[in-house]
Amino acid sequence: MDPASLFCYKPLDQVKSEIRVIRIPPKDNDNFRLETVCLDDSPTFVALSYVWGDPNIKELISLDNQPFPVTKNLAAALKQIRNRWTLEDSPHRVESLWVDAICINQRDPDERTQQVQLMGRIYKSAAVVLAWLGPADHSLACSAITLLAREMADNTGRGMLNEEKLSRLKATDPKDYIYGLLAITELPITPDYNKTVSDVYIEYTTAWLETCRDMRINEHITSLTFLGNAGIGIYGSEAEFPSWVPNFPGQGKPDISTTRMGTGRSDRGVFGDDSSKLPFVVARTKSLFAWGLEIETVRSVVQGPVYRPTGNWDLLQNALAAMSWGKRYKTGPSTLNAFFRLLHRDRSRTISKSTIIRDLCLFCHTIMPSGRVEPQQRDEVLLGLGFSIDPVEFEAQLVACFAPGVDIRQLGFDKNMRGMMMEWPNGIVGDAWQRIRISLIKLERTWRLIGTTSGYLGLAPRGTAVGDRLCVLKGSDVPVLLRRTDLDSYIVVGTTFVEGLMNGEAAEREQAGKGMGNK
């Protein structure tokens, strides 16, 4: 039997806003003691924020002279606190500590519900919040906690760290992604751990949409922004989650590198200012209703850039597949340029020194992935991509492809484009490779390259299928892929980045009668 199930907690008085803290024992005593305090009395204590770790790997501590199991990571945190933060000369001496896994009766959903409602007040009342990052090779996410606490100390076992070292917030209970941050989001939700995970996330999404309707939203965040963390294309079908709710727990999976496609203005000018066309949720049927314009369907789905054991990326096959639609992309630039911009999720039309270096770097890696190659091999690839091997013609083609109408000397270049390419893998173009490589790593696991029926190129979730519907939805800053399930409903595949549909271009299609209708 789990020793935690034998531990007897004394009830807390909700009216008095009582919480429990643990008293840290001296070094010659290993027994932690639980103590009940009232927040109304302004008690002095330190709060601990940490990653629970694997709940199946436990260590026993002594709590009120009884064995009490805690996760391995929490045990390490308590040990470090005793060794480093109970000293007289410690900058934040710890005598009383609040830690959720011990101070809240995790077996009592009613108590959990009540205590989570106090979470914001607990962190604000703490003299300091310790963010346990674990050993040097372990990372923790709790940057949001800094918004709650008066002061924050970050402990790695080796001193103090800047809060920029923190990464994403993670939770063991899926409901805590919603309830644990209510003090920050200020959404009108009352925690209730007796609810199902599905109901909690539907309630969260409903509250989010109602908040957006009240205009209490950052100008860079739209009402359907949460779709960037939703969809079967990344997370698969899960019984607990309708396809349209944000799957926050799924983001911690090791095979998911990044879920957001950046931001855009894809719905700009498409739907006008009709306030009646706002997305809404019907909880009874677990349905999200949104207004949208169906653009067209997905015609092809291919694996994105593949990392080879040699340390190179195979970009050539993707480039050839993209250019099979034609040398000139449907919205203006060369198809090769559109493909490279797609890899960087660049929705701007700006040509700068950095964009030219970036595109040349990708171009060099496409034709010479291992660095310098024999001229004959390089020329064969160039010819296959439709480029000339004559130096003068080749330079003109490079300018037309990556810097049309721009005098690159005015941007600070002292060489022409061909000259910079010939220095590969050295020079300023070669120096950019490490930064670009990181961007490709984020794409490989989670994203696929898609082509649509009329020739749009895009990045889409790995679960995208031929026939999925490319749509622009009112309230979504990026296009969304939907999959029809019957005559009246769809499931969300995920958000996309589509070259030529990120800045409101769909409005022009609608005016020209090229859209496929509102849904």
Domain spans, the chain: 3-170, 311-443
Distances (CA, A) of 104 to 78, 213, 402, 452: 16, 35, 59, 52
Q: Which tokens is 37 given?
A: 């305090």
186 or 20, higher pLDDT:
20
Confidence of residue 252 (pLDDT cuts 50, 70, 90): low
Whose CA is closest to 177, among 152, 150, 199, 204?
204
307-366: per-residue pLDDT in tens?
765 656 778 888 888 877 777 888 877 888 888 888 888 888 789 999 999 999 999 988
For residue 89, list its beta bridge partners: none
Confidence of residue 219 (pLDDT cuts 50, 70, 90): low
47-104: per-residue pLDDT in tens?
988 766 677 788 999 999 999 999 988 998 898 888 777 656 565 677 899 999 999 9
Say whether the peptide bond before residue 69 is cis (omega within 30 degrees of 0).
Answer: no
254-277: per-residue pLDDT in tens?
666 655 666 788 988 888 877 778
User: Taking the CB of residue 177, how many other CB atoms lie within 10 A of it?
Assistant: 21
Confidence of residue 482 (pLDDT cuts 50, 70, 90): very high
- The rounded percent of the chain whose pLDDT value lies above 90 is 41
pLDDT of the residue at 324: 76
Report the mean per-residue pLDDT for the chain.
Answer: 82
Strand 457-461 and strand 447-452: pairing?
antiparallel
Out of 150-154, 393-397, 494-498, least confident range: 150-154
Q: Average pLDDT for residues 152-158, to the nearest whole number?
A: 43
Given a contact cutoff of 8 angstroms between Cβ atoms, the answer to whether 479 and 266 are in contact is yes
Provide the angle, in degrees to the nearest 10, between the axes of the packed helices 353-367 and 375-384: 110
Strand 480-484 and strand 31-38: pairing?
unpaired
Confidence of residue 375 (pLDDT cuts 50, 70, 90): confident
Residue 164 has pLDDT above 90, yes or no: no
Side chain identity at residue 504, one-letter code: G
Given a contact cutoff of 8 angstroms between Cβ atoms, the answer to whether 255 and 445 are in contact is yes
Close Cβ partners of 462 (under 8 Å, ≥ 6 residues apart) = 233, 234, 445, 446, 447, 448
For 317, which DSSP code?
H
Residue 156 has pLDDT above 50, yes or no: no
Backbone torsion region of residue 409, taken as left when φ is above 0, otherwise alpha when ψ lies between -120 and 50, otherwise beta: alpha
Given a contact cutoff of 8 angstroms between Cβ atoms, the answer to whether 163 and 154 are in contact is yes
Residue 41 has pLDDT above 80, yes or no: yes
pTM: 0.74
Q: Average pLDDT for residues 109-123, to the nearest whole number?
A: 89
Whose CA is closest to 264, among 304, 296, 295, 222?
222
Close Cβ partners of 272 (under 8 Å, ≥ 6 residues apart) = none
Residue entry with tokens 């079967």: 232
pLDDT of the residue at 143: 37
Distances (CA, A) of 517 to 105, 230, 346, 513: 53, 24, 28, 9
Out of 146-155, 186-195, 239-248, 484-493, least confident range: 146-155
Strand 280-282 and strand 287-289: pairing?
antiparallel
Confidence of residue 207 (pLDDT cuts 50, 70, 90): very high
